Amino acid sequence: MADKLIIDCSTGEESTEALTTAEEQDRATLAAESEAAATAEAGRTTRREQAAQRLRTIGSGTGTVSAADTRFIAKVLAVVVANMAVDPDA
Amino acid sequence: MSKDLQGLLNAIFDAENNALRTSSSSSSSGSLAVIGRTVVGVGGAASIDFTSIPADYESLRVVYAGRGTAAVTDVELRLRLNNDSAANYDWRNLFVSEGGITTATAAGETSARFAATIAASATAGKAGTAAILIPSYARTVFHKTMTGEIGYPLNETTGIRRAEATAVWRSTAAVTQITLLLSSGNFAEGSVATLYGQKGA
């Protein structure tokens, strides 16, 4: 594992120090937190892609639009409108 | 990078730093002065620490260009102040990428996230960049709010990413130390970090 790189701004001197045990543990914790966040984001991305695909299928005009599809469209529109920067009634 | 080349680079940077320090002593309002700078050498660096930061300026600006060594396309770029690793950091990042616009946020973390920088699996030769502003760093009235602009090109086609970041350190203490961290791996050889002080801004 690489050392810490330290720049003393009062002298301009540069030095290196080995990580302490606590700092190594801190890095491991940070890596684990980052991995968990990445996994959660990947899940959100997958769900967004699935939702987009379902809308594309509904929009393709093939098949019947079910009541469940209609509710799904309404839910998506609610999210879109809630995030609109303009007045939706304007 | 050879030790001779590293030494030459350090000498050039030292000379530039001294010149800028001299010019800053009579600088006009708003001018930038280099407080510290480093180029990561052979073997990389686990973290980059600017210590003993003087309280002579109104704002600090950290400018980074480099990449990580982890075997992934990108890793989180993190920052700590005054070596505080308690759960005192809140942040929100806005990402513009090939997947659209997304945000991420967290409260009470042990470091502040400034989006990401590229790592070993990104296209060779590319560098991620970040410019982080810390206004009123030496004042002791408010918590420290930082903002950042980040670029991290994973490749030369669809993966050219940009991010904006806001982060808060829940402390009124004057900032005397800044630590740059990555979520995994090390800062790669050749990565550069510079700390600027800005007066009158």
This complex has an ipTM of 0.82
Tell me the shortest Cα–Cα distance from B161 to chain A, in angstroms.
16
Residue A19 contacts B, CB cutoff 8 Å? yes
Q: What is the pLDDT of residue A63?
A: 83
List pLDDT tens digits, range A5-53: 999 999 999 999 999 999 999 999 899 888 888 888 889 889 989 999 9
- Please tell me the predicted confidence (pLDDT) of residue B22: 40
Q: A65 falls in which pLDDT band (50, 70, 90)?
A: very high
Among B2-6, B22-26, B48-52, the range scoring the smallest mean pLDDT is B22-26
A45 to chain B: which residues are within 8 Å by CB?
Answer: 99
Report the half-sphere exposure of B28 (CA within 13 A, side-chain side): 0
Rounded to the nearest angstrom, the minimum Cα separation between B172 and chain A is 21
Please name the residue that has the structure tokens 């770029």.
Answer: B77
Q: Average the pLDDT over B53-73 and give the result.
A: 97
Considering only CA atoms, which of B193, B75, B183, B189 is closest in space to residue B131? Answer: B193
Determine the Cα–Cα distance for residues A34 and A27; give it in Å rounded to an integer: 10
* Residue B194 one-letter amino acid: T
pTM of the model: 0.81
B40 CB near a chain A CB, below 8 Å? Answer: yes
In terms of average pLDDT, the best of A38-52, A68-82, B23-37 is: A68-82
CA distances from B70 to B66, B118, B135, B156 (A): 13, 9, 32, 20
CB contact under 8 A, B76 and A34: yes
Q: Residue A32 CB: number of other CB atoms within 10 A?
A: 12
Q: What is the DSSP letter of A31?
A: H
Burial (Cβ within 10 Å: 0-12, 13-18, ≥19) of residue A40: exposed
pLDDT of residue B8: 47
Contact B154, B123 (CB under 8 A): yes
